[in-house]
Structure 1
Amino acid sequence: MSDDRPQDPTTRHPRPDFPQQDQEHPGWTGPMDPPPDHGEESYRGSGLLTDRAALLTGGDSGIGRAVALAFAREGADVVFTYLPDEEKDARETARLVEEAGRRAVPVACDIREEEQCRALVDRAVAEFGRIDVLVNNAAYQMSQPDGIGAITTEQFDRVLRTNLYGMFWLCKMSLPHMRPGSSIINTTSVQAYKPSPHLLDYATTKGAIVTFTQGLAQMVAGDGIRVNAVAPGPVWTPLIPATMPDTREFGKQAPLGRPAQPAEMAPAYVFLASQRASYITAEVVNATGGTPLP
């Protein structure tokens, strides 16, 4: 049962220092200490997305799993992507969606490849007949504390193709299957505005996502389709032990003194996907734990 009483946001969830932990990319949820909270015990739906058809990338864990769970509890069916190495986590996301009484369609997909993006959209349309909500959430990062000289062309290409190309292709391919009232939500980051030097390439893509979101929103406004973004601050997901050299103090720099849990991000996506946000487009919802953004 959810506890909606006022709670101190600085102590509502675990605070660093955390144990040092390392995983191979892409990482998975099981070994994380403390375990991430996706809203399994707390998120209660109220029918905001009844019978919507959602397509979500990176839905196996972290923010993606929390969004899939919240969408399902709000009444949506969900097609979501995962990488083959993330199949165990993907099965858990599917279980949570189905437990909420909605359809889950997990699809192994590498969004760096245009044809895989095309097949993904085709699969979503075959399953649901349309796309009501597209959430571009999948991302890749790899910390390089040694500076730009340590960022290989291979890494730079992977970051851009995952974070930008995949989003571009999925928006372009999904729009013909979206009707007035549909919504696109992209995941940007606090890094778009306050880049950490060791995440130079990742931060570059997150800045581009803000610009892309605002431009596309104006392009499709006349079609009755809204385009927005969410900019998380530090969030406790498998990407952190899989890509960051030091997990012990992760999130301590936020004014609230801790990282967000994925469950704390999901309500922003629900709001932007719902009719309660019908006059909101070309906007970025900042969920940074207190870090001021422009």
Structure 2
Amino acid sequence: MAIASILPRATFARRARARRHLVRQPTFVLAALWLSLVLVSAVAPGLLTRYDPYAIDENHILGPMSAAHWFGTDQFGRDTYTRVVYGTAESLKAAVLAVLIGLVVGSLIGLLSGFVAGRVDTAVMRLVDTMLAIPALILSLAILTTLGPGTISIGIAIGVNSIASIARLMRSEVLSVKERAYVEASRFFGHGTWYRLGRHVLPNASGSVLTAAILDIGTSILGVASLSFLGLGAPPPTPEWGSLVAEGRGFFPTQWWMSILPGAVIAASVLSVYKVARVLRNSRSANIA
């Protein structure tokens, strides 16, 4: 009884130390605050700006940065900062869709391949290797050619690209977990395959996969912005981060902020996701240890 009461206390104390360690990291705190601001922009953009992202103002065409227009105005007099804020929802929608597709489909494939093994594992892994051999941009363009441009199409295209890497990671975790003693003991006691998968294998194999999925959010944001920059995202005048960078490139010599500032928002968001994901991964490893 004494040992049983001590173990939860030790776990709680270790987790409390981990949380204090996170708070003491200024770069982690800044990254978390930035991502919180991004989420607010996606959910309630009206809280961060008073302008209409589609309102044309002929009196402020290609205006510079100012107290009234933090990111300046575009070729139609629209407030660039407002369009960046309202473009967050479209960009994140595609990125989250991509991560969900890669996570769900890739995890199922990896779980099946690693647990069943044998010929099924060999066939599935050959398919995964084939997907990894195709350059991501070419595969994305092929999918977008079939589906047509749009935010959802971009999310599907990028999500399909991430299936193979998630599947390989899940397979390796499953191969490690299914050989552990408690899984063998579960089979010895007569528990069925689905019970062992859901009760033991999946929960213990999913930690690293979830961390990789968080990292993939940053990669997906960058991929969405890249395809949107190429004109494959939502049609104008819908704002998206990548399309905003593309709109400003024609005015770069004189109005450089039209491209640089939306690009800086993309870079800050991607770096913040990477920072938070890596810190959480290291914290999780420390808790396990």
TM-score (ref. length: structure 2): 0.23
- Name the one with the larger helix percent: 2
- Name the one with the larger strand percent: 1
Q: Highest CA radius of gyration, 1 or 2?
A: 2
